Amino acid sequence: MNRPGLQALMRQIEAAEVKVVFIFTFERLLRNTDQRAPFPSFLARAGCRLVSASEDLPGQATSGRLRK
């Protein structure tokens, strides 16, 4: 969580500048598995959604992958 880009993203989320974080895979966003539980909670508190192009995420309304 101490990566500069992630910290900047989190500040933008807290400032309500970002409503959706679109990722390809979760492991590219958070490489440490210990951080995977707190980050979605942070997003939920801020009213921000996490959407993955290639993975089903817990709590994601639709299931499946992004198609061409």
Q: Are 43 and 13 in contact (CB under 8 A)?
A: yes
Spell out the domain ranges in the chain: 4-52
pLDDT at res. 20: 93
pLDDT one-digit tens code per residue, 5-56: 889 999 999 999 999 988 887 777 777 666 667 888 889 999 999 888 887 7
Angle in degrees, CA 18, 35, 10, rounded to 5: 20
Query: Above 70 in pLDDT, residue 67?
Result: no
pLDDT at res. 68: 47
pLDDT at res. 63: 46
Could you tell me the pTM of the whole model?
A: 0.70
Q: Are 26 and 38 in contact (CB under 8 A)?
A: no
The contacts of residue 25 (CB under 8 Å, 6+ apart) are 52, 54, 55
For residues 18 and 31, give the distance between their C-alpha atoms in angstroms, rounded to a whole number. Answer: 21
